[in-house]
Amino acid sequence: MDIPLETLRSTDLFVGLSNDEITKLVERGEYRTYRAGETILHAGETGRNLYVILSGQVAVECEGDEALCQTPIVYLGAGQSFGEMAALDAGPRSANVRCVSHEAVLLILPGVLLRRLCDEEGSIGCRLLYNIARDLAFKLRHRNLTGGGG
Amino acid sequence: MIYKVSYVVLGGLPGIIRNQTKPPTVGEQIEIGGHLCEVVEIVELLPPQGDYAYLHATCRPVEVSSAE
């Protein structure tokens, strides 16, 4: 799959990285297209991959009582990342994530890459972690604005 | 410029976070998880940084009239 560099540059994860650095990272990941209704992540499962949405929309849904979880927590669109919690702490996935647009194109990066980059290429690793932290802060602000409901 | 926008929908529907190359405008209609919503207010959520602007848009669901 040939994704234009400007599309990759418009994702939060790659803010502050050079074109060469972005290309190097993307070469270590893979692209995948999901169809409407397809589940991308299941809550509770293990996995450390980090997902970047290049196009389309996904729904982040809680796990548990079906009656309580009929409404997604939030939708995420182009440029957003998810799966970062497990990528960082190796814990179980905290939510279900499902494709809700006709299709969604994602870049999937191995979570171990983050740690490796911090050890071997500190400036890139530091920038990625900063971008992830900033994105998590934005998600928290969004959640606060919704009163915790979406 | 990239606009990172937190869309919040009045009435309890889930919102969306997405990046876009054009700023949202009041009156614009967007689709959020299959629901059509209209933007009613836009405020700056955070100061811009580099090529990024951080906005918060409040939306209301658009009722689609039935042609039955």
Chain segment A47-101, per-residue pLDDT in tens: 999 999 999 999 999 876 565 666 899 999 999 999 999 998 999 999 999 999 9
Instruction: Quickly list H helices, chain B.
Output: none
Cβ <8 Å between A100 and B21: no
ipTM beyond 0.95? no
Alpha-carbon gap: A143 to the closest alpha carbon of chain B (Å): 9
Structural tokens at position B11: 């009435």
Architecture of the CATH domain A5-142: Sandwich (2.60)
Question: Which residues of chain B lie closer than 8 angstroms to A74, CB-CB?
Answer: 14-17
- The H-or-E segment that residue A23 falls in is helix A19-26
Residues 6 or more apart whose CB falls under 8 angstroms from that of A89 comprise none
Structural tokens at position A16: 């502050």
Q: Is the dihedral of CA A110, A112, A117, A120 positive or negative?
A: negative
B54 touching A (Cβ < 8 Å): yes
Residues 6 or more apart whose CB falls under 8 angstroms from that of A143 comprise A74
Give the global pTM: 0.90
Query: What are the residue boundaries of the structural domains of chain A, listed by start?
Result: 5-142
B14 vs A141, A145, A150: nearest CB: A150
B41 touching A (Cβ < 8 Å): no
